[in-house]
Structure 1
Amino acid sequence: MQAQNQKIVVLGTGGTIAGESSSASEGLSYKAAQRGIEALLRSVAEIGQGLPKALNSYQFESEQVAQLDSKDMDFATWQHLAQRCQAWLSQADVVAVVITHGTDTLEETAYFLSRVVATDKPIVLTCAMRPANFKDADGPQNLRDALTLASVAKGAGVWLVAAGEIHHSQHVQKVHPTRLNAFDSGESGVAGTVTNDQVSWRSDFAPVARADTIDLSRLPDPRSWPWVEVIMNHVQAKPKVVDLLVSAGAQGIVVAGTGNGSISTDLKEGLMRAQASGVQIRIASRCNQGPVITTASHIFPVLAGLSPVKTRVALMLEMASQTGH
């Protein structure tokens, strides 16, 4: 099949990339999710002499899946987004899906999609740290870079492109509240870069083992997805927090442990009570770099290489798929 018969699909979900502020000089105070995906696509051609040459032979489809600030992302939107990705990517003429998204919860959405969309084609997410009408908005270039990556990426994988950097969904985290390169992949590092409409993959980037995909049809209605919370170990962490969560109906607890996933004696006792009552417990680290290395001291399961919020997604999906139809 020739490129001119192939499509790249762009799905909009809102976020700062679609946001607007009161003036072109205001970059921090703004309202997210104001512009539609078609307007964002038009802005890509405006920052250069049209689209990158690599994209000229592709057709583009766009769809507004949601329009929200990603701090307000919810399970129903996740499910709908995953279903739309699956539907588009199942079409033979669609080579990739690009998603515009807010930065605050992008890493969670990216990991979620990597676990539920069964495809051998790439999904590329992008975002912005400045609203669309800011004088030096970063969104148009980020979207341009994401489209460029989508046109050349081969095989399965969920990726983030921002500030010229390519990150893998399993590793990436938002690590800064305001700077343009707000994302980092810790010890794994960036997978590659996009510069002047050219993609360069890092030669020593280690392939990421693909986690098992959970069939979307096995997941129940999002209103029935299990309640999984993240708590943190810290000085004098109180087990009462665990007891309150259990009594309120929490079905899973992820602990962002100190260091190599360590938990205080008092908090551990509360977690053991919770586990005995049927609550699922998982351990991660509050450190933003390096995986937890399982040792004999870990009495609760560790999902290697995942941050606390991604561990939460993994546990939630594990539990939801067991209760689905």
Structure 2
Amino acid sequence: MKTIAIIATGGTIAGVGKDGKTVVYHAGEIDVNDILESIPQINEVAHLKTFQLYNVDSNEMDEEKWMGLSNMINSLVLEEDIDGIVVTHGTDCIEETSYYLTLTLNTNKPVVLTGAMRPATATSADGPFNLYQAVSLASNDSAYGKGVMVLFSNTIYSGRDVQKINNFKVDAFGQKTFGCLGYMQDEVPYFFSDTFKKHTIHSIFAGNYNSLPKVGVALFYAGASADILYHLAQSNEGIVIVGAGSGNYNEKWKEAIEDLSKKGTIFVRSSRVQEGIVFDDEVFDPHHYCISSNTLSGQKARVLLMLALKKTKDRDQIRQIFAQY
């Protein structure tokens, strides 16, 4: 059997609440080994090594914890007896962690994130089955070289494109209009598509980090003041605009973006619309000060911009990075 390292970070999968209830619980309370005791059949899938790195609600995940998790995985995959990695994680911010790992892990070994929508104390908790399938996926030869994946509710998603689309159903994730990578039937994965964006060993960002540039996110809404941008620019090297429609905003924001860009702030345009693509725009950004996020959400565009700014401050070079990742 393969040997899989399980790195626990907390989340609902380790949550505790009133017996049987699915709401009003505290995430990140149970040790990963206690969860594994409820799924003894998992020991027929792989040899397991467990690491309780964090035990927090995923809203407590931040850049420091991303770096700690990524650096730990980059160390573990160097061990010959580790065949794959599973990370247990809260669902609220799993899409940001998965994208950070997609960009920074230096391995072809399978890395799978999973979690739960129901706490461990709920009736029909979904965490144990998700964890069982995540270990099964990480143990399967077909998962090699697929990049970072998220396994949830029988479905395999790419770490780049996965997003939370529901806050109460157990089938809580989607991947925009691209579809998923594949599906699980019990312990067997079936892949139907692949990701063509650069990731893991093909990423220029693959490696360990101990600091990241600061990047803020500004949500545009009807009547939003441009003061928001000036305030963010005081403490951030870059700003991701989460605009309306195709990443759009009003004239005051446009003027502020042009002014701040001339002073060195790097801007990325994304959209608050759940599905769609943000391209360059001659009307809202006639001088091409902004970098288009393409299909990345605002929160994922922030992850890429932080890493891009670690490499270069040149706007045109960052534009090329966004086209590739």
* Superposition TM-score, scaled by structure 2 size: 0.88
Does the 8 A contact of 1:19 with 1:34 survive in 2?
yes
Deviation at 1:108, TM superposition (A): 0.1
Give the structure 2 partner of residue 305 of structure 1.
295
Query: Matched residues in 1 for 2:74 and 2:33: separation?
Result: 21
- Answer whether contact 1:52 1:197 (CA < 8 A) is retained: no
Aligned to 1:157: 147
Shift, 1:12, TM fit: 0.3
- Residues 117-148 of structure 1: CA distance to partner in whole angstroms, max 9, x if unpaired? 11111110001011111121110001011111
Distance 2:242 2:42 in 1: 43
What is the alpha-carbon distance in structure 2 between the residues aligned to residue 280 and residue 120 of structure 1?
A: 32
Superposition pairs of residues 89-100 of structure 1, within 5 angstroms: 89-100=77-88
2:171 and 2:196 mapped to 1: Cα distance?
A: 22
User: 1:94-133 to 2 correspondence within 5 Å?
Assistant: 94-133=82-121
Deviations 1:77-109 (A, max 9, x none): 111100111011112222210000000110000
1:141 aligns with one of 99, 105, 129? 129
Matches within 5 A, 1:21-100: 21=17, 23-45=18-40, 50-51=41-42, 55=45, 58-100=46-88
Specify the alignment match of 1:283 in structure 2.
269
Task: Tell which deviates more after alignment, 208-217 or 104-113.
Answer: 208-217
Shift of 1:306: 0.9
1:70/1:101 contact within 8 Å kept = yes
Aligned twin of 2:161: 171
Contact 1:125 1:146 in 2 (8 A): yes
Deviates more, 1:8-17 or 1:312-321: 312-321
Distance 2:191 2:7 in 1: 25
Q: Whole-Å Cα distance in 2 between the matches of residues 169 and 20 of structure 1?
A: 27
Q: Secondary structure at the match of 2:37?
A: helix
| Aligned counterpart in structure 1 of residue 179 of structure 2, from 189, 194, 213 | 189
Shift of 1:195: 2.1
Unaligned runs of 5+ in 1: none
Query: What is the CA distance between 1:206 and its match in structure 2?
Result: 4.3
Q: Deviation of residue 184 (structure 1)? A: 0.8
CA offset digits 1:147-175 (Å, max 9, x no partner): 11111112141111111111111111111
- What is the rounded CA distance, in whole Å, between the counterparts of 2:255 and 2:194 in structure 1? 39
Contiguous gaps of at least 5 residues in structure 2: 314-325
User: TM-score with structure 1 length normalisation?
Assistant: 0.88
Q: After the TM superposition, which of the residue ranges 299-308 and 142-151 deviates more from structure 2? A: 299-308
Contact 1:158/1:169 (CA < 8 Å) preserved in 2? yes
Give, in whole Å, the separation in 2 of the partners of 1:322 and 1:66. Answer: 31
Q: Check if 1:296 corresponds to 2:282.
A: yes
Cα distance in 2 for partners of 1:156, 1:182 equals: 22
SS of the residue 1:301 aligns to: strand
2: CA distance, partners of 1:71 / 1:118 = 26
Residue 190 (structure 2) aligned to one of 177, 192, 200: 200
Which residue number in structure 1 is paired with residue 207 of structure 2? 216
What is the deviation of 1:321? 4.2
Mapped to 1, the partners of 2:204 and 2:87 lie a distance apart of: 19
SS at match of 1:43: coil
Q: Does 1:255 align with 2:241?
A: yes
More divergent stretch after superposition (142-151 vs 208-217): 208-217
Given that 1:13 and 1:68 are in contact with CA atoms closer than 8 Å, whether structure 2 keeps it comes out as: yes
- Secondary structure of residue in 2 paired with 1:216: coil
Q: How many residues align?
A: 304
CA distance in structure 1 between the aligned counterparts of 2:241 and 2:186, rounded to whole angstroms? 42
**Aligned counterparts of 2:295 and 2:177: Cα–Cα separation in 1:** 11
Counterparts of 1:267 and 1:322, CA distance in 2: 25
Check the 8 A contact 2:177/2:275 in 1, yes or no: yes
